[in-house]
Amino acid sequence: MSDFDLWLEFEVGDPIDQPANSPVQNFANIAIRLSDGRRYCLNVWTFDFVPLARYPWPYKTTDEVPAKYLIPPDLLVERLDRVTIQSVVSEMLAAGELRPEWRCADDEDA
């Protein structure tokens, strides 16, 4: 049994019309619930999604002028899939890297 459970947006409901629904060029929201009840909510992008994020949504073409800046997500990862996210969260927990600002507002007292 792991010390956490994951909720991954890309595993729930119908696929969202994102850039080719690619696990290496995409983004998603995730929630991490620790065994002590604390919950963390993060916006996660893949490294390869960053160039696309510079263009207006929805991504019809990249003929438009790219943005001069981006407000980054909470976390960048290589792939959006359960295996990668689970491994990353395990490493972050071991290193004490879950940030207080990622705590979900509905359980800050847990």
Q: Can you spell out the DSSP letters for the chain?
A: --SEEEEEGGGSSSPP--GGG-TTS-EEEEEEEETTS-EEEEEEEEGGGHHHHTSPSS-S-S-SPPPS-----SEEES--SHHHHHHHHHHHHHHT---GGGB-GGGTT-
List beta partners, residue 27: 45
More confident residue, 69 or 106: 69
Q: What is the pTM of this model?
A: 0.84
Domain that holds residue 90: 4-107
Number of domains in the chain: 1
More confident residue, 41 or 16: 41
- pLDDT mean across residues, the chain: 87
pLDDT of residue 1: 44
pLDDT of residue 15: 55
